């Protein structure tokens, strides 16, 4: 269902990083949706007010910050620890255990906002896209899932392309040009991707 603007809504898993910041104007331009950004606090230690301000300044119609730390620890981390879930005896599964909870929360906000779709910014490099989408489809098989990086309308192939996209639209770039990697962090784990 639409907003006061009459447009349909999409809920975006918003981290405040480069990929999801670019996705806000991209969704508006390519789908004509009002974008509802949802930030999920899993203990990253982020400045949520700054991230919320960035989402709104970039064009989101609304931005929610959800404190999911307690649910994440209780329902995901502790069961994983009890089960000895460590990949190759050294890699904590902090990223993979967080994705189903993020998917669940995105569906809850999509229902609350009467959105027609959910979007994530996971690239095709790893399994995050699968983890997000399986969770979303399990909880809401009726909602469209937009995977920006796999969408034929997505023509941005690098971080440099994304930065130029924002610069061309006079949107502040949320990172430095020499910062060529991203981090995934939560209360249990941190990983880096370049």
| Catalytic residue positions, numbered | 19, 99, 128, 182
Token pair in block for residue 55 = 């989402």
Alpha carbons within 13 angstroms on the beta-carbon side of residue 181 total 6
Which two tokens mark 49?
Answer: 């007010």
123 in Cβ contact with 96 (< 8 Å): no
From start to end of 7-137, where are the E strands?
9-13, 34-41, 62-67, 86-87, 91-92, 117-120
Closest CA to 13 of 118, 162, 129, 160: 118
- Kindly state the greatest CA–CA separation across the chain: 52
Q: Are 90 and 186 in contact (CB under 8 A)?
A: no
Determine how β-strand 190-193 pairs with β-strand 182-185: antiparallel
Q: Which residue has the tokens 């331009």?
A: 29
User: Which two tokens mark 2?
Assistant: 């639409």
What does the block give as tokens for 144?
A: 């469209």
């Amino acid at each position: 269902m639409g907003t006061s603007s009459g447009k349909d809504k999409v809920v975006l898993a918003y981290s405040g990083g480069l990929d999801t910041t670019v996705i806000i104007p991209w969704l508006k331009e390519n789908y004509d949706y009002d974008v509802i950004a949802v930030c999920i606090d899993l203990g990253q230690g982020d400045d949520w007010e700054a991230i919320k301000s960035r989402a709104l300044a970039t064009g989101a119609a609304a931005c929610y910050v959800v404190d999911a730390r307690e649910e994440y620890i209780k329902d995901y981390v502790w069961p994983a620890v009890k089960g000895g879930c460590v990949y190759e005896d050294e890699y904590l599964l902090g990223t993979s255990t967080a994705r189903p909870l993020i998917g669940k929360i995105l569906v809850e906000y999509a229902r609350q906002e009467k959105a027609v779709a959910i979007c994530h910014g996971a690239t095709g490099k790893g399994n995050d896209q699968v983890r997000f989408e399986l969770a979303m489809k399990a909880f809401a098989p009726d909602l469209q899932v937009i995977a920006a990086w796999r969408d034929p309308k997505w023509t941005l192939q690098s971080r440099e392309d994304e930065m130029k996209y924002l610069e061309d639209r006079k949107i502040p770039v949320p990172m430095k040009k020499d910062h060529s990697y991203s981090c995934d962090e939560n209360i249990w784990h941190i990983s880096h991707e370049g």
